[in-house]
Amino acid sequence: MRFLLIILINLAQASLRQRDSCNDQEINNDCSAVCDAEYFNCSKNCENSDCLRKCAEEVIACENSCPCGADCPTGCVDCPEHPLCADECEDAQLNNNDYQICLNAAIYELDFCLKTCPPEIGCHNSCYENYTQMLFLCPCIEQQTTTTTEISTTTTQITPIEPSDVFILVIPYLVDKSYLQSGDGSSQISATINAPDNNYADDAAHALVNGKLHIFGGYYDGTKIARLDDCTLNELTVRLNEERRSGHAALSIENGKKVLICFGPYGDIHKTCEIFNGSTTVSTFAPDWTHKYGGLGLYKNQPTSVGCYEEEHQKAETLSATGWTAIPDHPKRISGHSLVGLENQSLLLIGGEDWGYGGVDQSGIWQLKDENWNKIGELLQADRSGSAIYIGRSVYYFGYESKAIQRLDFNEETEDLQNVAQIRNQPADYYYPVLFQTVPNYCI
């Protein structure tokens, strides 16, 4: 029966792929996820194949009605009445919960800051600067419009942020070695992050929930969840269901509202996954293969993991509403790589240990696209056990063994790899550093 569903969904998706020109691909992905969930709900109560067939028909009708689906081929312009077509950022001050929460937090800080200033205008200005920086991190804020001083067009054309405007907070396994790295490599300044212990981020996985950085598990405490607020890692009362001290991975899902956390160091935890929604953790589908140090990244908007440290396999699996499904094997038996989903739905695999060669670091940059793995480039320095983050049209890869910080630049329109540059080195061999895109001077 799952086979039938897969065929039907593949048919639906094949018809979708013909419409690459559709502008609302992201909304389409969200919509498909809803359809998948409905299918799951529907089929759950089925006892025979007729019922399953009916559910499958419903899922196809559902997919067709999605923006970019058969009934709405060019996206929301064709079906503005579709519930997902309402613009999330239109009147965000009235309608967008995340924006409102973020705005209120910034106003609260500003208010507090102003009231605690001595009667000096410099202090007040500094409060407003900090307020601007906080707002800059809120959803819907048009932060990535070109910031030239020309009073130019009234269009709000969004151009990707330039590397010189990118700042990445890096929290290594020793929290007191945290630093702020600029995307053009020009500056690297130490940052002050407070945490209950200097080993707090050691082997922790990280991901954003509603724009806030969270870290999960790690050697210091395998079930902790902590959130970065105002330069401090605060432990939450909610904990992971499983102890994940190493080898696990975390990935923002559902437009950054939730995080999927999977895998771990040993035993059955290898295969478990759970979802954190900002307040609760719920266990979810287990993959067929263990993916210790196999990472998590989005491929076609679905969480995907590749390879494994322990079993040294090359299996790849992807998670949908109905569970994990096999996708094409990676050409190498691999682990310790970094996975990054691009906007065009493809998945990058960077670096890692090549078990075909006894675990040597590999330099290949691989792309999974249209169910094919291709090597699209080479790192300047082979590496493993690093971390990667996609900002603007660049992937920043912070390597462990070479210490190199390498930037992979992609073409703005086609998202093809254009250049690889080493912009700096990490101050030391920091493995799996926590990365967070932020503003200049954050926590310094």
Ligand X SMILES: *[C@@H]1O[C@H](CO)[C@@H](O)[C@H](O)[C@H]1NC(C)=O
Packing angle, helices 25-44 and 2-17, rounded to 10? 160
88, 92, 96, 97 alpha-carbon torsion, rounded to 10°: 150
The residues in 173-202 that bind ligand X, with binding defined as CB under 6 A, are none
Answer for which of 1, 15, 26, 38 binds ligand X (CB under 6 A) is: 38
What is the DSSP secondary structure assignment for residue 145, as one 8-state letter? B
The verdict on 279 binding ligand X (CB under 6 A) reads: yes
- Contact of 321 with 62, CB cutoff 8 Å: no
Q: Contact region for ligand X (CB under 6 A) — 139-147, 159-167, 382-390, 413-421?
A: 413-421
48 touches ligand X (CB under 6 A): no
Which residue in the set 144, 277, 422, 425 belongs to the binding site for ligand X (CB under 6 A)? 277
Q: How far apart are CA 420 and CA 406, in angstroms?
A: 7
Stretch that binds ligand X, among 50-58, 146-154, 157-165, 411-419 (CB under 6 A): 411-419
CB closer to ligand X out of 409 and 415: 415
Q: Does 344 bind ligand X (CB under 6 A)?
A: yes
Task: With beta carbons less than 8 A apart as the criterion, state whether 168 and 441 touch.
Answer: no
| Residue among 90, 229, 370, 416 that touches ligand X (CB under 6 A) | 416
37 makes contact with ligand X (CB under 6 A): yes
Cβ contact 318:291 at 8 Å: no
Among 196, 278, 331, 377, binds ligand X (CB under 6 A): 278
Buried b (16+ CB within 10 A) or exposed e, 1-17: eeeebeebbeebeeebe
User: How many residues at the interface with ligand X, by CB under 6 A?
Assistant: 17
What is the footprint of ligand X within residues 70-109 (CB under 6 A)?
none
Range in contact with ligand X (rule: CB under 6 A) among 86-94, 125-133, 176-184, 296-304: 125-133
Nearer of residues 152 and 283 to ligand X, judged by Cβ: 283
Long-range contact list for 157-161, CB < 8 A, 24+ apart? 159/412, 160/392, 160/393, 160/412, 161/391, 161/392
Nearer to ligand X, 314 or 346 (CB): 346
Our finding on whether 413 is near ligand X (CB under 6 A) is yes
Helix (H) or strand (E) holding 118: none
230 CB burial (10 A radius; 0-12, 13-18, 19+)? exposed
Chain residues binding ligand X by CB under 6 A are 37-38, 41, 113, 123, 126-127, 130, 277-280, 344, 413-416
